[in-house]
Amino acid sequence: MSSSPASAASTVFDSVLFRDAFGTAEMRALFSDHALIQRYIDAEIALARAEALEGIIPSDAADVIARESQLERIDLDRMRQETDIVGYPILPLVHQLAEMCGEAGRYIHWGATTQDIMDTAVALQVRDGLAIVERDIRALRAVLVDLARKHRDTPMAGRTHLQQALPITFGYKVSIWLAMFDRHQERLCELRGRVAVVEFAGAAGTLASLGYKGLAVQASMAQALNLGVPQTTWHVARDGLAEAINFLALVTGSLGKIGLDIMLLASTEFGEVYEPFVPGRGASSTMPQKRNPISSELMLAASKAVRQHAGLMLDAMVQDLERATGPWHAEWIAVPESFILTAGALRQALFALSGLIVDEARMARNLGMTRGLIVAEAVMMGLAPFLGRQVAHDVVYDACRLVNLKGGTLAEALKASPTVTAHVSIADIERLTDPTRYLGLAPQMVDRALELSARRQSH
């Protein structure tokens, strides 16, 4: 039996069995140990260059630090062992970088504190992670636009409390999904500037060790890393990171809602939509007929997990004084897992929705299964001008009861009522009881959603 490191994985994030179900290789790579350590190094190099620019350390020392600080030369086992002792990875990293850089090594990490480097690295990861999420949201919006446009006029039963309510169109349903992701696109653009900011402030956040040049170094460091400059030190002000993860919870929450809709509509009793057919996907080990909505299930699971991390990040905002004694560490769990789960859920959504199978005939059949009762409201409103709303309600109510008790259709029951036929023609009864004629403004709402989405897509 293989004893490779891969086979020893213990979570879905690094499992050879589940890692691509709950994440993507791209996002895992972004939050990998190697990528994280490289960002620590990037932050240390940017700091050295910024300090050299301000004359705090020699320029040639900064050049040596930039040249010699290489991830490939890091002894990861040694770094892990020292991290276990120290509790943080930066001092162990600085030990090795200082050795690499010789005499110039004395200037590494000048005036910085561990959290400066770690927070800056996370800001870089979050910035790049949000770029991946934004790309996938844009792609998903394009898929939803096509789906909404194609099914603008495809009638189906709208359901409330899991009961048929009134007719809608499938395009109307998809336009609601689309609008959610239009808003997520806006949220992402707004929050990026609040979270993609450098952290360099020193031991208690006052930059005391660099004197009057501290803020200039901070700004130069931010520019080198393509990060923003913070309004104040954010060692214990974690609203930016909390906002980012709560944003991911909103994204995956919307994906969970879409997944749940697909699962319900794909159930045997509904049979209105299906995930794309791939041989063997969604198969049961005992029931050959099964075609389970696997992507939708994974989307729903991810939404539940990221929601928990969103709560953890809110809890981690409550930090003590000028340096936290534990809440900070909770972020190390929540941030990477939330991004990986979100990337995985978006990938599942793109797969499911890009090839979604819509059974229009089944939608039409289900729409007619109540024999016209689904448009009882339309009939009531059609009779109200002649009978008054309450009398019209009672007449239609009695007709509905007759259909439920004795069968037949609502149109037949209405045609047998002298009260109805005294005011409404047979042709009008047929029109009023046709579900496809009572779609409200669903198609027009699709048009409006598509128009507004097109405007947002250009921003």
SS3 sequence of 120-180: HHHHHHHHHHHHHHHHHHHHHHHHHHHHHHHCCCCEEEEEECCEEEEEEEHHHHHHHHHHH
Asked if the domains at 114-147+166-207+223-359 and 368-437 fall in one CATH topology, the answer is no
DSSP structural state of residue 228:
B
pLDDT, tens digit only, all 459 positions of the chain: 344 555 677 888 888 888 888 899 999 999 999 999 999 999 999 999 999 999 999 999 999 999 999 999 999 999 999 999 988 899 999 999 999 999 999 999 998 999 999 999 999 999 999 999 999 999 999 999 999 999 999 999 999 898 888 899 999 999 999 999 999 999 999 999 999 999 998 888 888 888 889 899 999 999 999 999 998 988 888 889 999 999 999 999 999 999 999 999 999 899 999 988 776 554 444 444 446 888 999 999 999 999 999 999 888 888 888 777 778 888 889 999 999 999 999 999 999 999 999 999 999 999 988 888 888 888 888 888 888 889 889 888 888 898 888 888 888 888 888 888 888 889 988 888 888 888 889 999 999 999 998 887 765
- Give every CB contact of residue 23 below 8 A, 6+ residues apart in sequence: 12, 13, 340, 341, 343, 344
In whole angstroms, give the CA distance from residue 112 to residue 233.
13
How confident is the model over 38-80, as pLDDT tens digits?
A: 999 999 999 999 999 999 999 999 999 999 999 999 999 999 9
In whole angstroms, give the CA distance from residue 121 to residue 112.
13
In whole angstroms, give the CA distance from residue 119 to residue 227.
12
Token couple for 12: 């879905």
How confident is the model over 123-149, as pLDDT tens digits?
A: 999 999 999 999 999 999 999 999 999
In whole angstroms, give the CA distance from residue 48 to residue 109.
7
Fold of 368-437: Ribonucleotide Reductase Protein R1; domain 1 (1.10.40)
DSSP structural state of residue 4:
-
Do 260 and 172 form a contact (C-beta atoms < 8 A)? no
In whole angstroms, give the CA distance from residue 117 to residue 119.
6
Residue of 285, 114, 309, 121 lying closest to 198 (CA atoms): 121
Report residue 357: phi and psi, to 5°: -95, 120
Catalytic site positions:
161, 284
Report residue 157: phi and psi, to 5°: -80, 125
pTM of the model: 0.90
What CATH superfamily is the domain 114-147+166-207+223-359? Fumarase/aspartase (Central domain) (1.20.200.10)
- What does the domain layout of the chain look like in residue ranges? 114-147+166-207+223-359, 368-437
In whole angstroms, give the CA distance from residue 48 to residue 108.
7
Helix axes of 114-150 and 170-195: crossing angle, nearest 10 degrees = 160
In whole angstroms, give the CA distance from residue 449 to residue 419.
42
Give CA separation, 75 vs 37, 79, 83, 102, 378, in Å.
12, 6, 12, 17, 74
